[in-house]
Structure 1
């Protein structure tokens, strides 16, 4: 069986999309192919007018670094680096100098946007789980990416902290014009988005604009029982 089968989706710029489905439905594969982390065996993935399948590995790596932001449940913060340095990491990997005033200013700017400018020089180990997730969001924003992919970004958080993270992602769309694609199993998290996309057995089985938590829960229940 194909992990994805006949999936065709266009995500408009400046929108917040939730991708939902049961475990093993194909939603994480969808995210990984969309983000250029995996290559589909057929079909195309485009970011704007760029066909990712036509890029060399080095060009694809550069595109992911410069035009795509990632927020995952496993935060992958580097304990030996400060919060500011963790935030600036995509810029440093792109060849920017760590002592560059522009890099420092940009890192502090995005940390300010997530409410952590005052913790910039702290170790991430001194932060709470929710604060660490905010650093991960700041890191995803630092290159001003075309799209941010988030895989269960609230999955390990308590409801209050999860809400704070969703506020930041919603703000990234509404105030900063980013596009966010979020894989989630949480109906409440999906209710913060502009549209919920439901995947079952590698196929798109439903789309729900302006999703509400109760409606999303009902759709997920029908998938489990169907």
Structure 2
């Protein structure tokens, strides 16, 4: 069983065109989401399947969620009205792309595109392989998670099998961006090979130069 020293419960509700959305109720441990509660069914959904085997939610969680989300939905529109409908804060996202496991050519793996520090919580994430869109069935996506500074984060997962010369990209679209924010991933093995070949070329070139200079002196 998971030993917990601190559990942070978060509820947030998104306003779009003066309509309050379903919102979300998260339970986090040291800043990492353990689960969220579906706002329609009020069932706990673990972020990763293995979490379900390590921790069983409190039976009263569904009732707590109902009350907390109800409070959010009631208070947020009134708070905004009292503040004379302040303009929505728009913050550009950051992103990074990395593999879930150590890379081996021909061995199935997962690429993760982590998008963070953006507001409002709505981004479009697309994947490409060698410039072509990948099959949507290989892609999965997390919910939006709330950060302590009221920005948001999310992640997209791409199942893939590393092949030589393949180049993957993750592009993020957001209201704050004039053009998508793109990150590229190339097999580290290929990068290392390129560096080694480059060094070999430099050493070989220096050897020929030194040999030519020596012959010239003679």
Same fold (TM over 0.5): no
Compute the TM-score of the two structures, normalised by the length of structure 1: 0.21
Quick check: which one's helix share is greater? 1
Q: Which structure would you say has the larger Rg?
A: 2
TM-score (norm 2): 0.21
Higher relative contact order (CA 8 A, sep 6+): 1
Richer in strand (by share): 2
